[in-house]
Amino acid sequence: MSRRARLWLLAPALAGFLGLLVWGMTGLPGSGDHQGAVAATIARTAVPERHATNVVTTVTLDYRGFDTLGEEMILFSAALGLVVLLREQRGERKEEVDDDRAAGRKAPGTSEGLRIFSLALVGPTVLLGLYIVAHGALTPGGGFQGGVILATSLLLVYLSGKYLALRELTPIPALEAGEALGAVAFALIGLGGLIASGVYLHNFIPLGTPKTILSGGTIPFLYLAIGLEVAGAFMLTFLEFLDQTLLVRSRSGG
Amino acid sequence: MTAAVQVAVLLLVAAAGTAVVLTRDTLKQAIVLSFYGLLLGILFFAYQAPDVGLSQITVGSVGVPLMLLLTLAKVRRREADREKGE
Amino acid sequence: MSGFLPYAVAAWLFAAGIYGMATSRDLIHLVVCLTVAQSATYVLLLGVGYLHGAAAPIFADIGPNTRVVDPVVQALTLTDVVVEAVVVSLLLALAMQAHKRFGTLDPDDLRAMSS
């Protein structure tokens, strides 16, 4: 179907869809006017029940914990699919470079200030990521956000020009093992709930006092597992993309 | 006060989203996408959702534009190689 | 009227994303328009959960009986944001390999894979 025919088909379809959407939205109460009954109940009972002050965390890991298991599996399989897609194929080779720039680039090199600053920021970034993962039950944060922040420390290493040195230190199998460990740890902690009281992901560790770091029962440990898995998945993604850009060349070409 | 901020950021988000779609050059689109991610993060904070805002800022302003730029670098280098080889 | 604005912006973003995807000439541009369409759902969800004059659902520093916004939609949105980023990276890798195989990133010029 030609482009023009496609556009002529799109216009009425999109207009009709938009009309239906707007008509459906008029049936909703205005934003901010209506509090759902479930929201009110959870806001009232989450802290006494679970001793965790971040109610969003209790919803993610307790009231809707099974959904989080599914989301984690999506993350895991997407990272796995990425590694399979970008595996070294017959027409390519990984070339040995002793320089951290993509081969053949004529752009000016990065400034010394950028390199030093990025390298100095790696430590604080890792610390911030670990802090956010650990305090998921208390303040905004948790495994998902902290895991991504941990993965961005890899980007800072790339910006500071030490990517190749890092590449030799972190082989991809170690990252894959770490990510799989995070995914499995989440499932296994849920299994502990099954063994202890017959319900998957039920809490089986004594709840601490609210606002301390070990409050919430299994929540800090679940978030540690998620943090490990998300950090592993993102680092794997970044490493694969950086490899493709910097190292992989086609055999026949330059 | 908060309502004014929310309305302003909502309109900015709508404008930025349109700008992302209308930018055809993918290199410029990556930069506009990063800015759009930041605006979305501010919107989420204005709607009293700090957890979501934190996720959006780390992922949408840093992660996705970076992967876009790396894909672009790879694609353009492959095209340059192809032209050299011909 | 301003109660309806988040929904209107969500509908606009979704329509813009779909339009961008349908008229795209570049696979990478298409993936970015998909990201815009996804963000429309985040805006809609948070708009539904908001409550006038309510605080964020973190009880670390406010009393236990203050009104808070809906925590359930926030939990859904926050896992969604992170997971969709990895899915987008998978799509970008697909685009990269399509470019390697077909030599072009134009969706109109991709042929079916020959055996």
Contact C93 A46 (CB under 8 A): no
Gap between the Cα atoms of B30 and B33, Å rounded: 5
Minimal Cα distance from B80: which residue of C?
C103
Nearest by CB to residue C81, choosing from B6, B59, B67, is: B59
The arithmetic mean of pLDDT across residues C53-58, rounded, is 85
* A221 φ, ψ (degrees, to nearest 5): -75, -40
pLDDT for position C114: 52
The full 3-state SS of A10-54, as one line of letters, equals HHHHHHHHHHHHHHHHHCCCCCECCCCHHHHHHHHHHHHHHCCCE
Partners of residue B77 in chain A, C-beta under 8 Å: 102, 104, 245
Gap between the Cα atoms of C107 and C92, Å rounded: 14
Contact C69 B78 (CB under 8 A): no
Question: C88 in contact with B at a CB cutoff of 8 Å?
Answer: yes
pLDDT for position A103: 47
Provide the shortest C-alpha distance from residue B58 to chain A (in Å).
7
pLDDT for position B77: 85
Q: Answer yes or no: pTM beyond 0.80.
A: yes
Partners of residue A74 in chain C, C-beta under 8 Å: 83, 86-87
* Nearest CA-CA partner of A147 in A182, A184, A189: A182
Provide the shortest C-alpha distance from residue A82 to chain B (in Å).
12
Provide the shortest C-alpha distance from residue B70 to chain A (in Å).
6
Partners of residue C57 in chain B, C-beta under 8 Å: 48
**Which subunits count as partners of chain A given 3+ CB pairs below 8 Å?**
B, C
pLDDT digits (tens, 9 = 90+) for A179-228: 889 888 888 888 888 888 777 777 777 777 777 777 778 888 889 999 99
Higher-confidence position of A247 and A153: A153
Q: Does residue A97 surpass a pLDDT of 70? A: no
Residue A66's pLDDT band, with cuts at 50, 70 and 90, is confident
Judge contact between B14 and C17, C-beta under 8 A. no
Nearest by CB to residue C11, choosing from A18, A48, A59, is: A18
Q: How many CB pairs under 8 A join B and C?
A: 123
Burial class (CB in 10 A: 0-12, 13-18, 19+), A251: exposed
Chain C segment 23-42 residues within 8 A of B by beta carbon are 25-26, 28-29, 31-33, 35-36, 39-40, 42
Contact B74 A104 (CB under 8 A): no
Query: Any idea which residue has 């290199």 for tokens?
Result: B27
Provide the shortest C-alpha distance from residue A196 to chain B (in Å).
31
pLDDT for position A109: 65
pLDDT for position A101: 53
Provide the shortest C-alpha distance from residue B35 to chain C (in Å).
12
pLDDT for position C112: 60
Burial class (CB in 10 A: 0-12, 13-18, 19+), C92: buried
* A92 φ, ψ (degrees, to nearest 5): -130, 165
Partners of residue B48 in chain C, C-beta under 8 Å: 50, 54-57, 68-69
**Number of residues that make up chain A:** 254
Query: Any idea which residue has 């939990």 for tokens?
Result: C75
The arithmetic mean of pLDDT across residues C75-90, rounded, is 90
The arithmetic mean of pLDDT across residues A129-133, rounded, is 92
Q: Does residue B54 surpass a pLDDT of 70? A: yes
pLDDT for position A90: 58
Strands A248-250 and A92-94: antiparallel
C-alpha torsion angle, residues A31, A35, A38, A43 (rounded to 10): 110
The arithmetic mean of pLDDT across residues C46-54, rounded, is 87
Higher-confidence position of A248 and C41: C41
What SS3 state is found at A250?
strand
Residue C88's pLDDT band, with cuts at 50, 70 and 90, is very high
* Percentage, residues of chain C above pLDDT 70: 95
pLDDT for position B20: 94
* Cβ-proximal residues to A51 (8 Å cutoff; 6+ apart), any chain: A207, A208, A209, A210, A215, A216, A217
pLDDT digits (tens, 9 = 90+) for C16-46: 999 999 888 899 999 999 999 999 999 999 9
Burial class (CB in 10 A: 0-12, 13-18, 19+), B83: exposed
Gap between the Cα atoms of C33 and B29, Å rounded: 10
pLDDT for position A96: 56
Residue A137's pLDDT band, with cuts at 50, 70 and 90, is confident
Provide the shortest C-alpha distance from residue A218 to chain B (in Å).
20
* Nearest CA-CA partner of A237 in B58, C90, C81, C98: C90
Contact C99 B78 (CB under 8 A): yes
Residue A253's pLDDT band, with cuts at 50, 70 and 90, is very low
Contact A59 C75 (CB under 8 A): yes
* Percentage, residues of chain B above pLDDT 70: 98
Contact B21 C5 (CB under 8 A): no
> Strands, DSSP E only, in B1-86?
none
Residue C7's pLDDT band, with cuts at 50, 70 and 90, is very high
